[in-house]
């Protein structure tokens, strides 16, 4: 039997269009948020790798008008039409990134979300290392700026130093979950690590 061709307009793609969401990936953060009760009204949230804004749409609905959300990406994010969200074009690997992020959202935050992904090379070890480096940057932000009792969500590729990274997350959070949301494409290596209840 012939392998079915890749279908970009799958169920989650169509559902996102129907619900006015910018990306099918919005269902990933929605599933994680509901499973672990991540967000609450009035929270402060940082979303890394936020373009085109699908995660931001879900997060904004969860934290409500009293919440404050910042989304950053290498690509510009089209305005979301909400007064309580700021977006910026920033490189998380830049030396001054932490300072730029602090200027956008000063002080401690409740949740750090990372959907950062490297430009893949096709060389598995290289792609894994780059993925874990980006997740590590997100964890550093959560470690230094996350409030006690706060949460962390990061996408990364399974493999390589995954066990070490999970151990690093466990050192910061009381509980750690590994999640592969239903909206993840079958061929994808990605999973999400969820750190719950910051120490």
174 is catalytic: no
Residue 172: alpha-carbon gap to chain centroid: 17
Q: Where are the alpha helices (DSSP H) in the chain?
A: 11-18, 26-36, 54-63, 97-104, 124-145, 162-170
Contacts of 140 (CB under 8 A, 6+ apart): none
Which residue in 28, 119, 147, 155 is the catalytic one?
Answer: 155
List residues bridging with 146 in a β-sheet: 109
Helices (H) and strands (E) counted in the chain, each on its own, are 6, 7
Active site residues: 155
């Amino acid at each position: 039997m012939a392998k079915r061709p890749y279908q970009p307009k799958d169920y989650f793609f169509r559902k996102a269009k129907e619900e006015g969401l910018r990306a099918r990936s919005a269902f990933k953060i929605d599933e994680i948020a509901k499973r672990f009760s991540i967000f609450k009204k009035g929270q402060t949230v940082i979303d890394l790798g936020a373009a085109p804004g699908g995660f931001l749409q879900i997060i904004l609905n969860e934290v409500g008008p009293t919440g404050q959300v910042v989304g950053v990406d290498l690509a510009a994010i089209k305005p979301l039409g909400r007064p309580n969200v700021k977006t910026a074009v920033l490189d998380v690997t830049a030396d001054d990134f932490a300072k730029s992020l602090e200027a956008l959202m000063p002080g401690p935050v409740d949740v750090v979300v990372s959907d950062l992904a490297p430009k893949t090379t096709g060389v598995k070890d290289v792609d894994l290392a780059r993925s874990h480096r980006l997740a590590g940057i997100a964890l550093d932000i959560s470690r230094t700026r996350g409030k006690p009792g706060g949460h962390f969500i990061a996408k990364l590729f399974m493999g390589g130093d995954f066990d070490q990274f999970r151990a690093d997350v466990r050192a910061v959070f009381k509980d750690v979950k590994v999640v592969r949301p239903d909206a993840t494409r079958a061929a994808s290596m990605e999973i999400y690590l969820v750190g719950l209840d910051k120490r």
